[in-house]
């Protein structure tokens, strides 16, 4: 059977489903091209002198790695001239990035975490790029932060690229989730994982256990039951994984099921969670729901949260439906 490239897949989706407008198709192709360039830099590592700290901080007050900055620049440069976008927003930039006036403006807003899991770069463990696409409210000549503050339900596309043993792009535009593997010789993404589905039940969970004493009661109860295994009420033994790259955890869950959690932490009561709603929570929740899984903040579906600021944080419970429903029910019962 002939191989289906990302370009062919998108063109066929545009033709058959009619809901993939040409501008959005072009935008996804451009993001994919940028991810290829990021993959190249990530793979070269020390050979290209790209490892280590950049010597700067981002809006979250976190030290930036050189590759955080490189990946952010690659995404901005690749996307600013294509004509599909009205503006971009990045985890690494305080304010939205307007399309320069000498380029045509389009109708979409692109949000991204250019290099998620960047604490893993220097130790050669998987990292990734996460992106989300919204429509810009009509009539806005100069898009502002307020235009981005739409719930995740309004996303028209989302995806991630994981830079692991293979570089893979995983994508949804509301018609299932499809995975493409980068063929380095051909320089193109090839459909290798059509219609990815998350099994409803699982025996695998992912959480940073070192934070246990800071969790709220429902999370203590739930993880306590997971750890109790066959001796507890769940009646089965669970296995644990923690990569500290959300992209890698979500990818594992899409391939073989599991539940990923980053709950609220009592150390900083002002923060609802560590991860970011617009760059991590929403795109991953869209992908997970499209693959038959669930994603909540413990109390409601992540996709239904109305954001109040661009860099808002969120608690995250996502993956196999049965487990996400259980931990969400424990929050409701609290």
Classify burial at 270, counting beta carbons within 10 Å of its beta carbon; exposed 0-12, middle 13-18, buried 19 or more: exposed
Q: Is 24 a binder of ligand AHM (CB under 6 A)? A: no
- Other CB atoms within 10 A of residue 164 CB: 18
Chosen residue from 12, 17, 53, 62 binding ligand AHM by CB under 6 A? 62
Rounded to 10°, the helix 66-79/22-44 angle is 150
Q: Is 80 a binder of Mg ion (CB under 5 A)? A: no
Q: Is 113 a binder of Mg ion (CB under 5 A)? A: yes
Contact track, ligand AHM, 94-133, x by CB under 6 A = -------------------x--xxxx--------------
Q: Is 208 a binder of ligand AHM (CB under 6 A)? A: yes
Task: Give least dist CB 244 to ligand AHM, A.
Answer: 4
Residues 269-288 that bind ligand AHM (CB under 6 A): 275
What is the DSSP code string of 73-118?
Answer: HHHHHHHSSSSSEEEEEETT-SS-EEPPTTS---SEEEEEEEEETG
Rounded to 10°, the helix 246-256/282-290 angle is 10
- Paired tokens of 130: 């996460």
Give dist(CA 125, CA 109) in Å, integer.
30
Q: Is 116 a binder of Mg ion (CB under 5 A)? A: yes
Pick what 245 binds: ligand AHM, Mg ion, none; C-beta below 5 to 8 Å, kind-dependent.
Answer: ligand AHM
Binding-site residues sit at: 91, 113, 115-119, 208, 274, 280
Binding-site residues for Mg(2+) sit at: 91, 113, 115-116, 280
- Other CB atoms within 10 A of residue 83 CB: 15
Binding-site residues for substrate sit at: 116-119, 208, 274
Pick what 160 binds: Mg ion, ligand AHM, none; C-beta below 5 to 8 Å, kind-dependent.
Answer: none
Task: Give least dist CB 4 to ligand AHM, A.
Answer: 30
Q: Is 140 a binder of ligand AHM (CB under 6 A)? A: no
Nearest residue relative to ligand AHM (C-beta): 246
Q: Which listed range, 48-56, 107-115, 147-155, 186-194, lies at the site for Mg ion (CB under 5 A)? A: 107-115
- Could you tell me how many residues make up the chain? 334
Burial 166-202, CB ≥16 within 10 A → b, else e: ebbbbbbbeeebbbbebeeeeebbbbeeeebebbeeb
- If the CB atoms of residues 84 and 120 are measured against Mg ion, the closer one turns out to be 120
Residues 213-252 that bind ligand AHM (CB under 6 A): 244-246
Task: Give least dist CB 220 to Mg ion, A.
Answer: 25
Q: Which of 177, 192, 213, 41 is nearest to 118 (CA)?
A: 41
Q: Are strands 316-319 and 294-296 parallel, antiparallel or unpaired?
A: antiparallel
Task: Give least dist CB 247 to Mg ion, A.
Answer: 8
Q: Are 175 and 285 in contact (CB under 8 A)?
A: no
Which spans of this chain sit near Mg ion (rule: CB under 5 A)? Answer: 113, 116
Which spans of this chain sit near ligand AHM (rule: CB under 6 A)? Answer: 62, 113, 116-119, 208, 244-246, 262, 275
């Amino acid at each position: 059977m002939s191989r289906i490239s990302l370009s062919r897949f998108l063109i066929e989706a545009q033709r058959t489903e009619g809901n993939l407008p040409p501008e959005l198709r072009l935008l996804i192709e451009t993001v994919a091209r940028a991810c290829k360039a990021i993959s190249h830099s990530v793979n070269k590592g020390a050979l290209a002198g790209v490892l280590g700290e950049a010597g700067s901080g981002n809006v979250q007050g976190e030290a930036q790695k050189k590759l955080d900055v490189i990946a952010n620049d690659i995404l901005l440069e690749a996307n600013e001239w294509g004509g599909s976008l009205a503006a971009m927003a990045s985890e690494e930039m305080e304010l939205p990035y307007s399309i320069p006036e000498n380029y045509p403006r389009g109708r979409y807003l692109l949000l991204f975490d250019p290099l998620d899991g960047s604490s893993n770069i220097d130790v050669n463990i998987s990292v990734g790029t996460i992106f989300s696409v919204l429509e810009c409210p009509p009539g806005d000549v100069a898009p502002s932060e307020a235009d981005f503050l739409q719930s995740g339900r309004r996303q028209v596309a989302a995806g991630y690229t994981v830079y692991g043993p293979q570089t893979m792009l995983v994508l949804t535009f509301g018609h299932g989730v499809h995975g493409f593997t980068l063929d380095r010789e051909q320089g193109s993404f090839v459909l290798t994982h059509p219609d990815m589905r998350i099994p409803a039940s699982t025996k695998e969970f992912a959480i940073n256990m070192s934070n246990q004493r800071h969790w709220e009661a429902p999370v203590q109860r739930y993880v306590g039951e997971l750890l109790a295994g066959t001796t507890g009420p769940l009646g089965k033994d669970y296995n644990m994984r923690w990569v500290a790259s959300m992209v890698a955890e979500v990818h594992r869950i899409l391939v073989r099921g599991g539940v990923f959690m980053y709950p609220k932490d009592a150390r900083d009561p002002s923060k609802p969670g560590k991860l970011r709603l617009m760059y991590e929570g929403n795109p991953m929740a869209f992908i997970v729901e499209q693959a038959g899984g669930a994603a909540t903040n413990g109390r409601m579906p992540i996709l239904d949260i109305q954001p109040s600021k661009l860099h808002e944080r969120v608690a995250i419970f996502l993956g196999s439906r049965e487990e996400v429903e259980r931990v969400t029910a424990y929050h409701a019962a609290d």
